[in-house]
Amino acid sequence: MFKKNILLALIALILSLSLILSQGILCQPCYAKEKKDDYSAKALYLMDYNTGEVLFEKNSQEKLPVASIVKLMTICITCQKLDEGAINLDQKVVVSENAAGMGGSQVFIEANAEYTIGDLLKSTIVSSANDASVALAEVISGSEENFVELMNEKAQKLGLKNTNYSNCTGLPTINQFSSAEDTAKLLKEVFSYDAYHKYSTIWMDTLLHPNDRESELVNTNKLIRHYEGCDGGKTGSTSEAGYCLVATAKRGNMRLIGVVLGAENGKARFAETSKLLNYGFLNFENKLVVSKSFTDDLSIEVIGGEQKNAYIEPEKEIYLLLKKNSNDEISTEIKLSENVKAPIKKGENLGEILIVKNNEIIQTVNLVSKNDIESASYFDILQNISNNWKIA
């Protein structure tokens, strides 16, 4: 009788599990709408890096003080100047008394001493050093005031509509503000520079001063060490701004940027940024639908060219943001231009790829020539005739 009861109980359990699975209770996608009330920070923003799509926001366009997150623009312009060749990382510069005397977060650089651009940039990225930030500004523009003009010009070019700068450090001042949305866009721009990546993942390091004195550098962004995939970001905190953080992390094909402004304390800014990123990674995914190798070996016939065919490639890679466990059907269709005539310039549009989601075209990307093709010369034409001449 006892064995019979056990058998009946097992059968009942199996039937119950079968019913649950058939109704999808254990197989439901993890997507769930995030609630703004679950966060204490004044403003939030979660953005998919590849597509620019917004996954979650709260007061994301509100103009707020962002403290040392202002230094992201200082870093951005410095990296831009490095890319342009106007300065280089090994270049030695003499630090002014003005820069060395900056208060707040600093690495205690010495006035009238030489430091490399690389050391100043590392100190700004890792330790959020006010003195190093002003030193960079003075090297690039001659003064912090002139550099601030560059900062605001760059903000306009990036479309940061709710941002204005009055200094390069983020120290409290009048008429300086940004927004959660603008902050995410700015980090995306900064992340495109190789020089930033040289220092963004450093957890601990040292700055060697000219007199062999050392300053310890510790990354103010704790997520670099404690959040899987985090490889960049910027902290900021003042009494007026509260505790702020922008951070980016990548898992698989997906990179996210999360912003928290005006959190109650340091612990809250890291916790709420982690929560934002977790929400994105748990519920969404990126699918690479058009890669640079998408059209490898695909060519298009060219009329009157020194070459018969032009090889083509997508103008850019295309990712789609999808909810996990969705049943969306994604496909692509290639359309090539007709009667293509030489000459052709590298990058010239020669067709397009249509991206189709659930039988609806949602995006297109140009197909462009991989190289220049000149018009055929008279000799090329004769040579072509000769090569194709057939003797009966």
Instruction: Give the model's pLDDT for residue 262.
Output: 98
**CA torsion through residues 335, 337, 338, 342, sign:** negative
Q: For residue 21, is it within any domain?
A: no
Question: Which domain range does residue 255 map to?
Answer: 38-284
Residues 257, 349 share a domain: no
Task: Give me the number of domains the chain comprises.
Answer: 2
State the catalytic residue, choosing from 96, 128, 141, 274: 128
Tokens at residue 150, please?
């560059």
Mapping DSSP to helix (H, G, I), strand (E, B) and coil, where does residue 274 land?
helix
Give CA–CA dist 186/170, Å, rounded: 15
Q: For residue 31, is it within any domain?
A: no
Q: For residue 59, is it within any domain?
A: yes
Residues 277, 336 share a domain: no
Residues 348, 307 share a domain: yes
Residues 310, 245 share a domain: no
Instruction: Give the model's pLDDT for residue 307.
Output: 87
Q: Please identify every stretch of the chain with a pLDDT value under 50, giving residue numbers as ranges.
A: 1-32, 392
Residues 102, 53 share a domain: yes
Residues 195, 65 share a domain: yes
State the catalytic residue, choosing from 68, 178, 200, 274: 68
Look up the CATH number of the domain holding residue 113.
3.40.710.10
Residues 156, 80 share a domain: yes
**CA torsion through residues 17, 23, 25, 27, sign:** positive
Instruction: Give the model's pLDDT for residue 208.
Output: 95
Report the residue count for the chain: 392
71 noted as active-site residue: yes
**Residue 295 to residues 8, 286, 337, 369, 373, Cα–Cα distance (Å):** 60, 20, 15, 11, 18
Instruction: Give the model's pLDDT for residue 385.
Output: 59
Q: For residue 20, is it within any domain?
A: no
128 noted as active-site residue: yes
DSSP 3-66: HHHHHHHHHHHHHHHHHHHHTTSSS--------GGG--SSEEEEEETTT--EEEEESTT--B--
Look up the CATH number of the domain holding residue 319.
2.60.410.10
Residues 325, 274 share a domain: no
Q: For residue 307, is it within any domain?
A: yes
Q: For residue 30, is it within any domain?
A: no
Cis peptide preceding 314, ω within 30 of 0: no
CA 74 to chain centre: 17
Give CA–CA dist 48/287, Å, rounded: 12
Residues 296, 278 share a domain: no
- Compute, in degrees rounded to 10, the torsion defined by CA atoms 220, 225, 227, 232: 60
369 noted as active-site residue: no
Burial (Cβ within 10 Å: 0-12, 13-18, ≥19) of residue 230: buried
Last residue of a domain, one of 284, 301, 317: 284
Q: For residue 169, is it within any domain?
A: yes
State the catalytic residue, choosing from 42, 71, 81, 222: 71
Instruction: Give the model's pLDDT for residue 24.
Output: 34
Q: For residue 23, is it within any domain?
A: no
Last residue of a domain, one of 250, 284, 318: 284
Last residue of a domain, one of 284, 311, 341: 284
Residues 298, 243 share a domain: no
Residues 273, 304 share a domain: no
Residues 95, 172 share a domain: yes
